[in-house]
Every structure is written in C-alpha cells, then in structure tokens.
C-alpha cells in the first residue's frame, strides 16, 4: 500500500514554508549581534522563546510527499551511491538469516522459538531490536527481547525472560523517529525506516529548475533554527509532543518550527551523567534555539550523506569540544564513551 507520487503545483505548498523561513530569517538577523555563550547562560540572561517563529503541521494532513525511489531516479550519482549504507536509510531493514543478532536469538533456549518469526531489525552497532509486520497497515510488533553488542562485537540477548511480541510499544514510542510520516491519529507509518522526506520535507518538483525551493539545498542557506528543528525532531531523545503526549513529534514537516509543539527538557544538556553522544546534541540544540548562538549547527560538523564528521576537525577548539576531547590543545585523540537511552530501551 505504498503512497503514490503526486506532484503538486507550486502554488499550494511553499507559501507556508516560505513564511516560516521568512520569520526565521528575521530571528537570525536579530540574533547576529548577541553575545555567544557556550555553556548555560548566566542567570538573568534573556533566553529566546524557542516556539516564537514559524508554524507547524499539528492537526493538518500529512503532505503527499515524493518518495526516495523518485528522488534517486535523478539523484543517483550524488546520493544514490551512499544511500544504501546510510544509517538513516538502514535504521530498520530486512533481517538476514546470518545476522549475529538473529543467531544469538536462535542460540538462546528461551528465545529460539521466536527467531524464525523475526522479519526486520532495528538499530545499529550498540543495540538491535527484533520486529515483525503486524496485520494492520503501517504497524510492526516489537519483540520484548533485544540484542546488545559487547566486547568483540558479540551479540547478547537482553531480557530473554518470557519473550513475546508487543503490538503497542513501537507505534506509541518508537515509530516517529525510526519510520517515515507517522499518522498522529492512527500512529501508522507510511514507510519503514527514514525516507528523504524526513529531512528534505515536502519538496516541490519545481526545485529542478530552482534548487532554492528544496530544503537543505546549498543555494538556499536555511536558517540555523530551521536546520536544528529538522535534526532535533529525532535526535532530541528528551521531548514530548504537547498535542499527543507521545515521545516523538506530531506530523513534523521540514520548514516547521519543531518547538511549537515539541516540549524539550533542555536541562539535559547540563546533566553530567548523560553520555557525550546525547549531550553534544542537547547542548547544540539549546545553544541555537534557546541561547540564539547560531554560528554552529549539526551541519557544521556532520555531512549526512557521506556519514562523515571529518569537517568538525577544522573548527576552533572551545569548551563544547570537551564533551568528547580532553582539554589539551592541539586536540589529539578522543574520549571513548558508552551510549544508553531510556527512550530507545538500550
Ligand atoms: C525522539 C526520537 C526517538 C524515539 C522516540 C526512539 N528513538 Fe531510537 N534512536 C533515535 C536516535 C536519534 C538514535 C541514534 C542515536 C545515536 O546514534 O546516538 C536512535 C537509536 C536507536 C537504536 C540503535 C542504537 C545503536 O547505536 O546501536 C535502537 C536499537 C533504537 N534507537 C531503538 C528504539 C526503540 C525500540 C524505540 C521505542 C521504544 C526508540 N528507539 C524510540 C531516536 C529515537
Ligand atoms: C537525515 C537527513 C537527510 C535525509 C534522510 C536525506 N538527506 Fe539529503 N541532505 C541532507 C542534508 C543535511 C544536506 C545538506 C548537506 C550539507 O550542506 O552539508 C543534504 C543534501 C542533499 C543533496 C545535495 C547534494 C549533496 O550531496 O550535498 C541532495 C541531492 C540530497 N540531499 C538528496 C537526498 C535524497 C535523494 C534523499 C533520500 C534518498 C536524501 N537526500 C535524504 C539531509 C538528509
Ligand atoms: C526529475 C528529476 C529530479 C527529481 C525527481 C528530484 N530532483 Fe532534486 N534536483 C534535480 C535537479 C536538476 C536539481 C538542480 C541541479 C542540482 O543542483 O543538482 C536538483 C537539486 C536538488 C537539491 C539541491 C542540490 C544542491 O546542490 O544543493 C536537493 C537537496 C535535491 N534536489 C533533493 C531532492 C529530493 C530529496 C528529491 C525527492 C524528494 C528530489 N531532489 C527529486 C532533479 C531532481
Ligand atoms: C526522522 C528522524 C531523523 C532525522 C530527521 C535525522 N536523524 Fe540522524 N539518525 C536518526 C536515527 C534513528 C539514527 C540512528 C540510526 C541507527 O543507527 O539505527 C540517526 C543517526 C545519525 C547519525 C549517526 C550515524 C551516522 O551517519 O554517522 C548522525 C551523525 C546523524 N543521525 C545526524 C543527523 C543530522 C545532522 C540530521 C539533520 C540534518 C539528522 N540526523 C536528522 C534519525 C534521524
Ligand atoms: C562541533 C561538532 C559537532 C556538532 C556541532 C554536532 N556534532 Fe554530532 N558528532 C560530532 C562528532 C565528531 C561525532 C563523533 C563521530 C564519530 O564517532 O566518528 C559526533 C557524533 C554524533 C552522533 C553519533 C553518536 C554515537 O556515538 O552514536 C550523532 C547521532 C550526532 N553526532 C548527531 C548530531 C546532531 C543531531 C547534532 C546537532 C544537534 C550534532 N551532532 C552536532 C561532532 C558534532
Ligand atoms: C561528539 C563527540 C565529539 C565532539 C563534540 C567533538 N569531537 Fe573532535 N573528534 C571526535 C572523534 C570521535 C574523533 C576521531 C574521529 C574523527 O576524526 O572524526 C575526533 C577527532 C578530532 C580531531 C582529530 C584528532 C586527531 O587525533 O587527529 C580534531 C582536531 C578534533 N576532533 C577537533 C574537535 C573540535 C575543535 C571540536 C569542537 C569544535 C570537536 N572536535 C568536538 C569526537 C568529537
């Protein structure tokens, strides 16, 4: 039941996004001269209202967006080559019989009977979860037992006691960040894993003549707050939608201001116990949307399509870097860290 491509006229869509970005541009110009703060601002400093600019799609239908097959027909050269291995594309994929996680499931007497039912794997090098398709459209069941990877990258089954398929949890707690275009009423997703739409949004077909119509196009120079809204819509694992109470955003469409509906616990950026992976995200998001420090976004360091963070090496050293480096200059080597997440159950 795949969605059909329906190319829509320019007149329908971009006005909302353009209005959003126009407001965001005003915000960014206004903030250009403000003092830069790296850590939490001193008491009394005026914080921005993250929800002040732009609009969102809460209560509106999900746009009829263009799917990756269509995009890649034209973009197979720049993007097609890396998309197959891109971690966004692969966050959920078919479970191959030889997968270490599936083998570990089969090797454990408590879970072995379920191994043949596993159809999909969710996750990466630290933890993986087992899924199977539900009868209902856009739903999957989550196995209560999952795999974690320890030393030597051996898979180990966690919570193997009384393993069973859970039909609720994925839709209510995971779908919004691991699948594409989740319907806020039914919690059904349109496509497994993350399609181009999750970052590039409801991209107009007319962008082929005018790339500036395409969110994240180089020529367009999207405002930092708009970029941060995109990445934070999944990478902030400490938020809750006001509209639904669920731990993922409600019908977020690129160009929206995420923070109109998504309530974020920014204090996590100061939580010394939080792992460096989540902390550097939380601090950068807070810097941009609360402190108005717009000189550095996720894209100052990350190239999403190549999956590389090489460009971050050329930045000037500052306190922020110490999430992952020791305070020595020049920077050599980096800290090793573990990542656990209550949100993602690993
Ligand atoms: C708010 C968005 C969000 C929600 C909700 C969410 N995840 Fe995640 N998940 C992420 C992000 C972002 C990452 C990548 C984090 C990183 O690499 O540091 C991730 C990573 C993972 C990983 C891979 C860990 C690894 O590195 O190997 C697993 C497994 C996972 N999530 C499972 C789940 C499950 C199961 C749920 C629901 C119970 C869930 N997630 C809900 C955003 C989310
Ligand atoms: C996780 C977010 C994300 C997803 C998913 C994503 N992109 Fe991108 N894409 C970006 C960002 C960010 C840039 C801008 C790169 C920059 O300026 O650093 C970009 C740039 C591009 C470019 C410009 C050329 C380039 O390599 O910089 C093309 C073309 C593109 N994306 C196409 C696609 C297509 C097609 C898909 C789906 C198959 C897709 N993108 C999925 C984030 C994403
Ligand atoms: C009919 C062919 C076609 C389709 C389909 C198409 N594009 Fe494009 N796209 C182009 C052309 C042509 C350009 C402008 C020339 C260029 O920059 O590559 C462009 C430009 C872009 C850019 C800006 C590139 C840059 O250098 O900054 C991005 C990002 C992009 N497309 C993403 C997408 C995404 C995402 C989809 C699917 C939702 C898509 N395109 C579908 C042909 C297409
Ligand atoms: C729709 C949700 C979503 C959006 C939007 C999103 N990400 Fe992700 N991202 C994920 C998930 C989920 C993972 C982990 C995938 C896995 O390992 O299973 C991930 C992994 C990553 C990783 C680690 C893997 C790698 O490729 O190095 C980086 C870095 C990253 N994302 C950066 C970004 C940036 C920058 C943006 C904004 C342009 C962005 N992401 C937008 C969900 C998202
Ligand atoms: C100053 C540079 C910098 C900024 C800003 C930055 N990152 Fe990172 N990030 C890194 C580096 C470097 C790594 C480690 C990459 C590696 O392990 O190769 C990393 C790792 C990650 C990972 C993988 C963590 C893990 O261990 O699983 C994710 C996901 C991620 N970043 C997302 C983001 C997002 C989203 C933003 C914006 C809110 C962001 N980053 C901002 C430099 C940065
Ligand atoms: C999220 C963790 C993270 C953050 C934040 C981070 N780095 Fe890194 N950095 C790494 C990792 C991992 C490596 C090794 C892999 C690589 O080069 O991407 C690294 C490598 C480097 C290197 C190369 C070191 C060598 O031994 O050759 C430099 C230089 C560097 N980082 C500078 C910075 C600067 C400057 C900042 C702040 C603006 C920063 N890093 C922020 C994780 C991080």
Lowest mean pLDDT among 143-157, 175-189, 296-310: 143-157
Pocket test for ligand 2, best of 70, 200, 208, 219 (most atoms within 8 A of CB): 200
279 lines ligand 6 (CB under 6 A): no
Mean pLDDT of the chain: 89
Percent of the chain with pLDDT over 90: 82
Number of DSSP helices (H) and strands (E) in the chain, helices first? 9, 10
CA of 36 relative to ligand 1 center, distance in Å: 31
Label residue 341 by pLDDT band (50, 70, 90): very high
pLDDT digits 0-9 by tens, 97-129: 899 999 999 999 999 999 999 999 999 999 999
Q: Which of 82, 88, 216 to mutate to test the pocket of ligand 4 (most atoms within 8 A of CB)?
A: 88
pLDDT of residue 172: 98
Q: How confident is the model at residue 17 (pLDDT cuts 50, 70, 90)?
A: very low
Give the position of tokens 């991209």.
203
CA-nearest residue for atom 22, ligand 1, is 123
Residue 309: predicted pLDDT: 97
Query: Does the pLDDT at position 197 exceed 60?
Result: yes
Tokens for 66, please give them: 């263009």
Residue 330 has pLDDT above 50, yes or no: yes
pTM: 0.93
The pLDDT of residue 44 is 60
Strand 179-180 with 191-192, pairing: antiparallel
Residue pair 148/155 in contact (Cβ under 8 Å)? The answer is: yes
Place of tokens 């990350």: 302
Residue with tokens 């090496």, as numbered in its chain = 313
Q: What is the DSSP letter of 76?
A: I
Query: What per-residue confidence (pLDDT) applies to 334?
Result: 94
CB 66 within 8 A of CB 10: no
Cα–Cα distance for residue pair 73/84, rounded to 1 Å: 14
Q: What is the pLDDT averaged over residues 275-296?
A: 97
Return d(Cα 251, Cα 182) in angstroms, integer.
7
Span 20-74, pLDDT tens digits: 444 444 333 333 333 333 455 555 678 999 999 999 999 999 999 999 999 999 9
Domain locations in the chain as residue ranges: 17-24+46-80+218-323, 92-173
């Amino acid at each position: 039941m795949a969605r059909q491509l329906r190319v829509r006229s320019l007149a329908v869509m971009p006005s909302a996004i353009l209005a959003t970005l126009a407001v965001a541009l005003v915000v960014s110009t206004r903030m250009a001269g403000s003092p830069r703060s790296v850590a939490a601002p001193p008491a009394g400093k005026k914080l921005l209202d993250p929800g002040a600019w732009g609009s969102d799609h809460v209560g509106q239908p999900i746009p009829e967006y263009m799917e990756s097959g269509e995009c890649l027909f034209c973009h197979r050269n720049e993007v097609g080559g890396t998309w197959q291995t891109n971690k966004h594309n692969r966050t959920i994929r078919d479970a191959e019989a030889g997968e270490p996680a599936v083998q570990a499931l089969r090797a454990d007497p408590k879970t072995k009977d379920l191994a043949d039912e596993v159809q999909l794997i969710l996750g990466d090098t630290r933890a993986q979860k087992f899924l199977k398709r539900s009868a209902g459209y856009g739903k999957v069941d989550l196995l209560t037992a999952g795999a974690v990877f320890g030393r030597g990258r051996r898979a180990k089954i966690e919570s193997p006691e009384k393993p069973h398929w859970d039909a609720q949890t994925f839709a209510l707690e995971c779908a919004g960040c691991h699948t594409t275009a989740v319907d806020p009423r039914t919690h059904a997703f349109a496509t497994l894993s993350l399609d181009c739409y999750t970052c590039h949004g409801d991209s107009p077909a007319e962008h082929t003549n005018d790339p500036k119509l395409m969110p994240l196009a180089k020529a367009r120079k999207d405002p930092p707050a708009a970029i941060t809204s995109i990445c934070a819509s999944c990478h902030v694992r400490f938020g809750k939608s006001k509209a639904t109470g669920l731990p993922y955003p409600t019908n977020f469409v690129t160009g929206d201001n995420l923070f109109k509906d998504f309530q974020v616990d920014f204090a996590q950026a100061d939580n010394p116990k939080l792992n460096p992976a989540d902390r550097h995200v939380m601090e950068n998001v807070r810097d941009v949307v609360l402190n108005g420090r717009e000189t550095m976004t996720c894209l100052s360091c990350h190239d999403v399509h190549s999956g590389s963070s090489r460009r971050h090496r050329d930045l000037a050293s500052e306190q922020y870097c110490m999430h992952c480096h020791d305070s020595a200059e020049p920077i050599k080597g980096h800290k090793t860290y573990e990542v656990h997440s209550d949100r993602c159950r690993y």
